[in-house]
Structure 1
Amino acid sequence: MSIATRQLTGGYSNHPVVRDISLTVTPGEWLAILGANGSGKSTLLRLLSRLLEPERGAILLDGKAIEQLTPRQIAQQIAFLPQQQAELPEEMTVRQLVSAGRSPHQPWWHWDLSQDDRYWVELAMRYTQIAPFADRAVSALSGGERQRAFLALALAQNPQILLLDEPTTFLDICYQLELLDLLDSLNRKQGLSVVTVLHDINLAARYSHRIALVKDGRLVEVGSSSEVLTPDNIKLVFGVEASVISTPVGLQVYPLRSAKKARLTI
């Protein structure tokens, strides 16, 4: 399933944060969105997930205007993992949280999980290695465990498009790689389309098919890592001078110094 934007503009309280962005994520593609803090990356994901209404422009889901779909229909196709998770009841268990991911696929009058629902819940917990904590309260989890539990919630929806805002937050390097390897496997073997906002340029270059660079709410360039991650683009978007080096895991960016003219003098 593809998702596309056409001249998308939106933000908060009639204050546009994202301006005139047009891009397409093709079926089975992994797109990473990179930019400095405050560049509009998270706002773009919230617009794609319909948590924010655009001021103008269009969002197309498989070529169909997304506003023609009900929230339930959208949730059956798109799962969104925000950077900041919602507050939960103190006693809610991991299994209860992940089970909530099945709600878009259940009739409103149906409260119990079907056999198919239970399959996706257990599979999502196993994928994210959170199954051993299934009966533990989410409030008792560490930051990394909690992040994996919310990822399992998103995967339990069995979406065709997965939107993730800083999914490696709170994870140490081992779990970062394991999580991104999991997403890579789902992307390759099941054709899951993935859109991630990441702070780590090198992880984005290593795992994604294409990278979209965003600055001040506008799309600077989108393309493969070799096309996009140039010293000039990195200087423009992040304000640093950098060297781009080919490694066994692909292009990697090594920041050298701030590109700002002002220098601390003693």
Structure 2
Amino acid sequence: MIITDTHTHLYSEAFDEDRNEMINRSINQGISRFFIPAIDSTYTASMLQLENDFPKNIFLMMGLHPTHVKENYEEELNHVEEMLIKRPFFAVGEIGIDLYWDKSTLNIQKKAFKHQIQLAKKFKLPIVIHCREAFDEIFEVLETEKGDDLFGIFHCFTGTLEQAHKAISYNMKLGIGGVVTFKNGKIDQFLNQLDLNHLVLETDSPYLAPVPYRGKRNESGYIINVLEKLSEIYNVSKEKIAEITTQNSKDIFKI
């Protein structure tokens, strides 16, 4: 059984004391594919080191996270493009709009999001979208960029069934993580109305740990709890969930 974590920040400082042990623990559980989203240029070296340490398991993205879109965002976007030119990556991400922390940067967040979508198209890569309290704004940008060359993952999907259908209409898979195990997560109430072919698994570790670890540091091994919850929701085996969601990740990332 091959399990794919399509979104995990394994370079995070939260793992500095036990990173290799944690990754090996996850690999021993059958989680052998880890897709690593970028945040900003300050993490690039750590990401490259991670790939060097686990070359068969680590797959890197490049991008500027919306909460890190600041006054120097153009400089950061230049770094993203320079890295995409320099070497292969598997997606442009995570990118998008976050209005939870700072609404004042909405305009430059939109510009950075749109610019990075266009970079993804230029390099024929998927995008990985971060959306927090910004569904309307995200969809507004996607509408201007829609087409066969726009595809990717709507990371940490927490929307409604209607928003799920809309995201899927833009060639997006839905990233399902710990939220599906939360009592107030709500997505568990309608997910089985969506075909499994639209879903991928993720942890977003070290954030959003699933029940029973909620509130603690998340790690890729806890994706097993997400897998078990989806097995319940869809009434199919964990092996089948792993098989379909890993294939979906291969369809997106082309590896």
Whether the TM-score (by the shorter chain) exceeds 0.5 is no
Higher strand share: 1
Structure with the higher fraction of residues in helix conformation = 2
Relative contact order higher in (CA < 8 Å, ≥ 6 apart): 1
